[in-house]
Amino acid sequence: MNCPVDDGPLTRTELAAGLPAFECSRCHGRWLRYGDYLGWRERQGPDVPETPHDPDASAPAPEPALGARRCADCGRFLTRYRVGHGIPFSIDQCNGCNGVWLDASEWETLESRGLHDDLHEMFGPGWQHGVRTEEQRRLTEAQFTRQLGASDFARLREFGAWLAEHPRASEALAYLQWVTSVRLRKG
């Protein structure tokens, strides 16, 4: 078995107690056989709660754009899946044998956030849809922050949160539309 990143040899290790993996001595990435992960996951009991994302905490830098990676077990190309939840990297999975490649420190980052036991969900359409939705929300908020300024956008977000919980939100929105249309007509 060779490393999907630098073709170096992989040696047996453990990611966690009872979870065998293979590590590259050069790049320190790890190859995880999916069956080993699922067996370990079944023995773990209930999910570890996710630790919320702290935008001020340091996180690994997003991975550089690299060429295609090949599965350490079957040689097929790996597919990248974004983790999301405030984590900037992607995880590679083989679509043939389902093996998983984790670059150096990715397992530790997932573990520190309580996401290491959700690895099996990260490759599914539900998780990936959530990642895309989260990214779209972040981009939209960044755009409104640039357009309105941080202070005004913060006020608008606060108002929006209040409005979303208000029992008569539709009437409040109708009033805002009326006020806006009257002001626009006045010029």
- How far is the first Cα of the chain from the last one, in angstroms, to the nearest whole number? 72
Give the model's pLDDT for residue 45.
Answer: 83
Give the model's pLDDT for residue 49.
Answer: 86
Q: What is the pTM of this model?
A: 0.77
The full 3-state SS of 7-75, as one line of letters, equals CCEEEEEEEECCEEEEEECCCCCEEECHHHHHHHHHHCCCCCCCCCCCCCCCCCCCCCCCCCCECCCCC
Per the listing, tokens 């044998």 go with 97
pLDDT of the chain along its 187 residues, tens only? 999 999 999 999 999 999 999 999 999 999 999 999 999 999 988 888 888 877 666 555 555 556 889 999 999 999 999 999 999 999 999 999 999 999 999 999 999 999 999 999 999 999 999 999 999 998 999 999 999 999 999 999 999 999 999 999 999 889 888 888 887 777 6
Give the model's pLDDT for residue 61.
Answer: 52
